[in-house]
Amino acid sequence: MFDELEEMIQSEMERVGIHGLAIALVRGREIVWSQGYGYADIENKVPVTPATVFSVQSVTKSVVATALMQWYDRGRFKLDDPVNDHLGPIRLRSQWDDRTPVTIRHLLTHTSGIPGTRDVVRPTDVVRPTEDGTLPTLEDYVAAVAKTVRPPGEEIVYTDIAYAVIGYLVGRFAGQPYDVYLRDNVLEPLGMRSSAIAHAPHGTSVATGYFLSAIDGVHYPVLRSRLVSRPATPAGALLSTVDDLGRFLIAHLNGGVYQGHRLLKEETVADMQ
């Protein structure tokens, strides 16, 4: 049934230079097919399977946005609330705040005016470890870099920083670290037991990331520290499997429900889509 699809996948992997991938197909309320191709670790010839844990990078944003919208469903905020109404001890700095304050909707839709991936970040904008080696917290990071460089609401500019702010908001609403809330209220209810922020669940290993050199055509491994962007983990530090992500997708394709568990209100899911 899937022979033609598998031929296409393997052909594209060879053409583009992908060393390993996993894929799942969702229909209705179930994963109808999932498969792995290539290697999770080239050097040790570890094959990719549907259970292989990957660093899924910016797919993290959709999962963290889901956690935030659970608080929307509970009435803790409105989408057009100014972000600074909910940040507590820190402030999102904006010269346009009096005229057009940055809202939570702006954060979610990459229209906040916060620096994006196309903007140059000066060394002084980056939070460094302290002299005793202590790593900065998410709050430290948000306090240091959450500022606008363009008027909110006028332009879509993809930004990791905005999603760090969203993760911080989740933690503020929950009264606990955002990743703990995410685990207990999104990942576990969906049966995403092979998924976690930054650290692989016990007993699992993470697929090695590689970059394909344009000079010699060789796949070179990427250090794990480059794949987990601390402390801005809400923007891209989720580790997950294709089957786990399939469960997350099923919930969003079925009005916020997975196997009888309601993750979000149906109208909230429709707004997100």
pLDDT in tens, 27-78: 999 999 999 999 999 989 999 999 999 999 999 999 999 999 999 999 999 9
pLDDT tier for residue 109 given thresholds of 50, 70 and 90: very high
Rounded Cα gap, residues 73 and 68, in angstroms: 9
Contact by Cβ (8 Å): 89, 190: no
Tally Cβ neighbours within 10 Å of residue 3: 7
CA distances from 148 to 13, 89, 153, 157, 162 (A): 40, 18, 11, 11, 10
Q: What phi and psi, each to the nearest 5 degrees, are found at residue 22? A: -130, 145
Query: Is the pLDDT at 174 greater than 90, yes or no?
Result: yes
Nearby residues of 144 by Cβ (< 8 Å), 6 or more positions away? 125, 126, 127, 136
Percentage of the chain beyond pLDDT 90 is 73
Where are the domains positioned within the chain? Answer: 3-272
CATH classification (class only), 3-272: alpha beta
Residue closest to 171 by CA, chosen among 187, 183, 160: 183
Contact by Cβ (8 Å): 203, 215: no
pLDDT, position 17: 85
Contact by Cβ (8 Å): 264, 66: yes
pLDDT, position 245: 98
pLDDT, position 227: 45
